[in-house]
Amino acid sequence: MFHKVLIANRGAVAARIVRALRSLGVRSAVAYSDADAHAPYLEQADEAHAVGPAPAAQSYLNAEALLRVLRASGADALHPGYGFLSENADFAARVERAGVTFIGPSPQWIDLMGHKTRARDFAARHGLPVNLGSGVLNGDAGEILAAAATIGYPVLIKPAAGGGGIGMVPARDANEIGAAVERSRSVAARGFGSTEVYLEKLLEKPRHIEFQILGDRRGKVRHLFERDCSVQRRHQKVIEEAGAPAVNRERVDGLAARVADMLTTAGYDNIGTVEMLMGQDGSFQFLEMNTRLQVEHGVTEQVTGIDLAAAQIRVAAGESLDAVLPPVIGMQGHAIEARVYAEDPKRFFPSPGKLTTFRPPAARGIRVETGYAEGCEVTPHYDPLLAKVIASAGDRRAAIDRLTEALREFEVHAVKTNIPALLQVLTCEQFRAGDVHTGLLQEILCH
């Protein structure tokens, strides 16, 4: 096992990894920016190291600064959390060249799955269903029109190096395609440093269902069932649950097994999530693979009893999957998570400010993951996620009721939050019936 792990991240995920390391008896060192100098999890860690000014480009996205902190800390492993440099293959390779273990998949996996068209090709070669799409497009208008016509409108233009829904632009006919491609290219250049885009068939009102997997360095991969992440705003998940409601259990379990078998054959070697879209006809299409711990991993932990953060660290340290996971994993009950953001609940613009009141709910069956405490400043420099509130119960309806009550009890003053929008979803009968899709939140708010 590792002696000390540097956490190259902030907020709720930094606090979560500190807790996992403590459970394993491993020392934790946290990198922090000037804006996070008073974050509560710094006191919970064994060490804290300043990494740079508040802007992410000068701190959590600054590979040189993080590598300097890594050397100064004497850590023998680095955990990237999620976001920032967690899926940057070059950074992972530099960490390993420094003689330090990168807690995540090997750099070649991060590189492969980080490029969306190559990831699609990989999935198709290994027998997963893949949505109609194109390769990377050049700037030729004729090629773009021909590709869209072959796929059939409506289409979705997507950055090849992207993720998180950033830069995805729909086009419903040939009159829209040119401007949509340019818009996607522009966003991709700013967000990912690449103008490469490609086309996919746009599915109407799909569900977003993803499969949690874990692999070791010895050639074995297992799945830990699925999550439904269909409730989204601007392609960003806001409510996630395990397991998925109103699905064909046999079909979903079979697909999870296929995903695990595919990645075992290919030699995947750490944590990951295979994301898929489910059409209204019940068919599945590969969307992408995230080569990191997911924001929503907690709902899987609640229904399986597996500490995913600790498991990821253990397999990175060289333990076998047989030692880390029980022989049989099942799902017990239901878990649902709401992401509470410091943002306007109607327009979803960030709402920075000082948390004069910050009192998360504390009740039976409620788990709260946060990197904030009362008196902390929510800055405009980072994602405005305040907390993840997870409710667990024996069945889905009870879990929803428990989460609804918890959100009503969550006291936050001096910044706006999206709690009113979350409550609109949770109390909507369509959602409660399990009739969900990626456009549901917008439908509810516009009703």
Which residues are known to be catalytic? Answer: 292
DSSP H helix total and E strand total for the chain? 16, 20
Are 30 and 80 spatial neighbours (Cβ–Cβ below 8 Å)? no
Residue whose C-alpha is closest to residue 429's, from 414, 418, 443, 408 = 443
Q: What is the Cα–Cα distance from 155 to 180, expressed in whole angstroms?
A: 10
**C-alpha distances out from residue 315 to 11, 38, 171, 274, 350, Å:** 24, 32, 43, 19, 37
Q: Where are the beta strands (DSSP E) in 11-59?
A: 27-33, 47-52
Q: What is the Cα–Cα distance from 122 to 162, expressed in whole angstroms?
A: 17
Q: What is the Cα–Cα distance from 33 to 295, expressed in whole angstroms?
A: 21
> Two tokens at 127?
């027998």
Residue 334: CB atoms within 10 Å: 23
Could you give the angle at which helices 11-24 and 308-316 cross, rounded to 10 degrees?
Answer: 70
Residue whose C-alpha is closest to residue 369's, from 275, 302, 272 = 302
Residue 363: CB atoms within 10 Å: 10
Bridge pairing between strands 77-79 and 101-102: parallel
DSSP secondary structure of 360-409: ----TTEEEEES--TT-EE-TTS--EEEEEEEEESSHHHHHHHHHHHHHH
Residue 43's contacts (CB-CB under 8 Å, 6 or more residues apart) are none
Length of the chain: 447
Q: By three-state DSSP, how is residue 115 classified?
A: coil
